[in-house]
Structure 1
């Protein structure tokens, strides 16, 4: 019985939130491909949520097989004439089709239609994030903490720059600052970057220059290298306020929030490519499941907020110019438009193999990070 109870607790606490979050993000991504593809006149053979053995299915009146698979770690849309869910063309099958049947394949479409169909997946992810953030800000508003310096770390960058306790930060590099969280976001993204701070000290304006120290810290998603200034807020109740938004204003705020996540994720991916960021920050399904479970304990809105962040991350990852990913397909289409003809099958096949190796490598590194971190947690508990 204790074993069964432990398994049930694991399912309810971690697996269920993980499946909910990932399935929502994947479904919306694939739905983007599906809707635009069908609007472009492409026949869809299958829409799969998950991989592996089929759990349930139905076939709609257009002949699309909608399937729910056992492993909830992704999904795919298989267009007519594709060899697989990665939109690799089955050239032999297409060649054997009648002209009428071939017209409904993905490969037979114009470059703009194919590009629109491929780009629709990541775009759908960004739209999902915008919708979630808009709903959150409209329903819940936003907690705002006054950007006042309550504590200074001795010897920290802020103290060395001349900050005093009680300073109220009003702007950074000319950008108006309205909350402590807004200030934190700029600082954390500006490790080893010199910033100009406008502050009010006893009602008088003061200009200060400080360079946040780039340092590795532990976060909910693993280790992360961020900028540290060395100041904090006491978080006293009188320093908090609630900001509410009309629906249009909530949408604008959601746009800002989405762009912030895009810029932070894009900055990390760029830093990873040039060696400035550590691959130890990559997280895989195990970490996402763990975070989903912990966030779900705080309620529905934190969990749906995690879904929005994950949706943006998956959208950006899919736009990388790597064959097998959506960005790789767009790269092929751009090359085709410039050359006036498609790349040879051999070139595309080698690109596909590279893409497979790249994605597999990412998954191996991310899974290794997850296992190593969980092992260290287990050893520490022991």
Structure 2
């Protein structure tokens, strides 16, 4: 079911974003008097197509991993004399630049709209209060403490964990991270040294040595897996774990440790149910780890203590502030995405952090299951990424075409066909290499 949700959510998100991107090209091309021969969403064999009143063929392809706008172009078509005025290659270079740039620009505008809707609805958020601090970590050396409230990163105000995450990403590669925290109602300036900071699989917080605050898990059960050993042994929701094999339990972490160390071993468990002690015998299933070690699995999840007052809030804006903030946040995402690409190029971020379609599908599925507002937030992020990536100066992307047109604008004549062909080959190789690394990383994370 999770795989199905991931796939469907991914296809819906990608289909919408590709449509927005290609419609940007299409709309500006039409406004500039260019004849559009085909508007396609997806590649491969058409599963549905029709001819519009304007003569454009609209196509939905079998492979939903992209799209394109096919314009009349004398470089690839035999254009009769009476149609040269509506051919793409006959338009002034500034008009061609506007048509090519319209795709990424449409993605940015769409992100603004999505973020505006998200801010109007309101996004549940958590205050950036630090939980555990790992010994001998960068956070510990900077003297960060449990219950510190992060209020600034590099003089930029932050009010939830999402904004902290984005600001920390922006700091990757810097020798120190200037932070301000509130502790005992006093603002303290702290510098976190990043000499040993290595981000793996996007684990920003734990790689610095701290975790976000979360309520403690109790020994009371909140969930029983229908197919797990606990269900077969007779455990019920609301049971309070008291002891395992005569060992009195004091914390959930202690219970987890005993369970994971008891794969395929019988445990005599005592639980408090309806005011009386019940004794149950359970044999945790064996779920080997990726390293090949045995790990016991019981199939239960705990209840948690209540969140402290004011730790959970809703980021919500009125119409006018939401309009302003949607532009600000979109611009911040654009800058952050370019910054991340720069860090990949310089090696500040390892290529093992590059994600591909599988990771995106998983993100789409998780966000869709979390709720509509999280799904549109995810789409806004991917829309910005799609726009930025298409602006990269690789000849197979919009950015490569823009590069050639800008050179033509400066030189006063087009780049030669030979140079363009060599550039397209190089761009295709580079793009396939990047996609290959991303897919390799995706499979490695499964």
The alpha carbon displacement at 1:81 in A equals: 1.9
Structure 1 31/282 Cα, relative in aligned 2: closer, same or farther at 3 Å?
same
Query: Please, which of 113, 116, 119 is the counterpart of residue 134 of structure 1?
Result: 116
| Larger helix fraction of residues | 1
| 2:165 and 2:204 in contact (8 A); partners too | no
| 1:45 and 1:64 in contact (8 A); partners too | yes
Alignment of 1:34-45 (within 5 A): 34-45=26-37
| 1:189 and 1:226 in contact (8 A); partners too | no
Structure 1 position 93 matched with structure 2 position 78:
yes
1:245-284 Cα deviation digits (max 9, x unpaired): 1122122332333234323322221122223332233333
Structure 1 281/195 Cα, relative in aligned 2: closer, same or farther at 3 Å?
closer
Q: Structure 2 CA distance, aligned partners of 1:291 and 1:41?
A: 40
The alpha carbon displacement at 1:144 in A equals: 4.0
Structure 1 position 301 matched with structure 2 position 301:
no
Q: Structure 1 CA distance, aligned partners of 2:205 and 2:433?
A: 22
Q: TM-score, normalised by structure 1?
A: 0.83
Q: Which stretch shifts more, 346-355 or 52-61?
A: 346-355
Q: Structure 2 CA distance, aligned partners of 1:369 and 1:210?
A: 29
Which residue matches 2:189?
207
The alpha carbon displacement at 1:180 in A equals: 4.4
| 1:81 and 1:107 in contact (8 A); partners too | yes
| 2:2 and 2:365 in contact (8 A); partners too | no
Which residue matches 1:85?
none
- SS state of the match for residue 143, structure 1? strand
Structure 1 163/247 Cα, relative in aligned 2: closer, same or farther at 3 Å?
same
Gaps spanning 5+ residues in structure 2: where? 216-306
Which residue matches 2:52?
60
Structure 1 132/242 Cα, relative in aligned 2: closer, same or farther at 3 Å?
same
Query: Please, which of 318, 326, 337 is the counterpart of residue 254 of structure 1?
Result: 326
- SS state of the match for residue 180, structure 2? strand
Gaps spanning 5+ residues in structure 1: where? 1-8, 83-88, 375-382
State the Cα RMSD in Å.
Answer: 2.5
Structure 1 position 15 matched with structure 2 position 7:
yes
1:229-256 Cα deviation digits (max 9, x unpaired): 5353236341222232112212233233
Alignment of 1:97-136 (within 5 A): 97-98=80-81, 100-136=82-118
The alpha carbon displacement at 1:111 in A equals: 1.0
Q: Structure 1 CA distance, aligned partners of 2:164 and 2:436?
A: 36
Alignment of 1:271-282 (within 5 A): 271-282=343-354
